Amino acid sequence: MSGQNRLAILGSTGSVGLSTLQVVRDNPGIEVVALSAHSNTRLLLEQCQEFKPQYVILSDETQGDEFAAHLKAVSFQGELLLGPEGLNQIAGSPDVDSVMAAIVGAAGLASSLKAAECGKKLLLANKESLVMSGSLFMEAARRGGATIIPIDSEHNAIFQCLPESERHAQLLNSQQITKLVLTASGGPFLRTDLDQLASVTPEQACDHPRWSMGRKISVDSASMMNKGLEVIEACFLFGISPQDIEVLIHPESIIHSMVYYRDGSVLAQMANPDMRVPIAHGLAYPQRIDSGVESLDLVSLGSLRFEAPDFQRFPCLGLGREAAEQGGTTPAVLNAANEEAVAAFLAGRIGFDKIPLIIEELMLKTPCEEAASLAIIREADERTRTLAKQLISKRFA
């Protein structure tokens, strides 16, 4: 690889962060300048000892003193930063060229936005940033001169299938491109009887048949809310309406997404289901490096299947599409309601089948406003979380 490769990994102890570090191990020349975690100090300490970053950020400030003592005990020479301010400082630091935004959920918005504002090469694995702030986020990236490389496998696949002139256009040429297709595995409950969904456990929901992911993202995959969020994200990343985005179930997870062209051509990106593939693409872009993932054996694959999603089985997908069509603050409301509902499910407080009911009720009760500022978006997020907690406690717990 050529050029500057000073990398900050925000969310280094999560599944995307761990995969990123594995790609770094396999490709000397990428300098890890900063690592961050929320509260997993044990793993973060191990990473600091191995990669010796210039900065380490712990967003859970309550553990700061104890973690500082651990760093001192291993003679760590870098600087410890704490809280959201520490994340923002590193995201905008002149010591950093590329930012892997791998913090899950709304917690990753501020630092991702800071990286965009400061013109970084932003490897965006935090889809919630775009879901919540959409046009504001993309405008900040344009003004700052940032290069956004989507790391979600589906959006990265679309990015790779677009002409180079369209990849950062923020508005696809509708005279050339007619449709984007996001593929979905269908998750662990693709064939489960509908009347059994009320009794599924968090462990079953997190037992994904194809991908290894964190618990929250795994539940989103099981409900297909992840695909609803990805529809919203694609609208902003590529400047396309939700009506021009199709979602298809593809259980094998080999074709990660497709782009339809007006001449009848369909370009698809294929790879084994492993996040190291889009991560390696993002780290090296516009070049290529070794991801460490085995190449496809097309003969052994056999058939590749596709089917339309069942909205009765996956109502969260329909809610995501509805939020994309409404725009404004509705995507932020959807995301906040989903995060609270998923947290309650993982804690054993509600059943899996209650997740879409909670989201739908909050979307109906919350007026859609113009997302004219980050303050308005954050207020919608906070209000929805308060209402979601009240609703869960009073009606569903």
Is cis: bond before 286, omega within 30 of 0? yes
- What's residue 296's pLDDT? 95
CA angle (245, 248, 252) in 5-degree steps: 140
CATH 1.10.1740.10-classified regions of the chain: 327-397
**Nearest CA-CA partner of 17 in 1, 32, 2:** 32
The residue count for the chain: 397
Q: How far is CA 185 from CA 19, 145, 249, 281, in A?
A: 20, 35, 6, 22
Nearest to 233 by CA among 115, 112, 76: 112
Q: Look at residue 349 in the predicted model and tell me its pLDDT.
A: 96
Q: What is the 3-state secondary structure (H, E, C) of the chain?
A: CCCCCEEEEECCCCHHHHHHHHHHHHCCCCEEEEEEECCCHHHHHHHHHHHCCCEEEECCHHHHHHHHHHHHHCCCCCEEEEHHHHHHHHHCCCCCCEEEECCCCHHHHHHHHHHHHCCCEEEECCHHHHHHHHHHHHHHHHHHCCEEEECCHHHHHHHHHCCHHHCCCCCCCCCCEEEEEEEECCHHHCCCCHHHHHHCCHHHHCCCCCCCCCHHHHHHHHHCHHHHHHHHHHHHHHCCCHHHEEEEECCCCCEEEEEEECCCCEEEEECCCCCHHHHHHHHHCCCCCCCCCCCCCHHHHCCCCCECCCCCCCHHHHHHHHHHHHCCCHHHHHHHHHHHHHHHHHCCCCCCCHHHHHHHHHHHHCCCCCCCCHHHHHHHHHHHHHHHHHHHHHHHC
CATH class, range 327-397: mainly alpha
Contact 184, 171 (CB under 8 A): no
Tell me, what's the pLDDT at 289?
96
Instruction: List every span in the chain annotated with CATH 3.40.50.720.
Output: 6-150
- Per-residue buried b or exposed e for 252-265, using 16+ beta carbons within 10 Å of the residue's own CB: bbbbbbbbbeeeee
Query: Which class in CATH covers the domain with range 6-150?
Result: alpha beta
Instruction: Provide the residue-wise pLDDT of the chain in tens; the chain has 397 residues.
Output: 545 689 999 999 999 999 999 999 999 899 999 999 999 999 999 999 999 999 999 999 999 999 999 999 999 999 999 999 999 999 999 999 999 999 988 899 999 999 999 999 999 999 889 999 999 999 999 999 999 999 999 999 999 999 988 888 778 887 899 999 999 999 999 999 999 999 999 999 999 888 778 899 999 999 999 999 999 999 999 999 999 999 999 999 999 999 999 999 999 999 999 999 999 999 999 999 999 999 999 999 989 999 999 999 999 999 999 999 999 999 999 999 999 999 999 999 999 999 999 999 999 999 999 999 999 999 999 999 999 999 999 988 6
Q: What phi and psi, each to the nearest 5 degrees, are found at residue 138?
A: -65, -35
CA distance 160 to 278: 10
- pLDDT given at position 4: 63
Output the pTM of the full model: 0.94
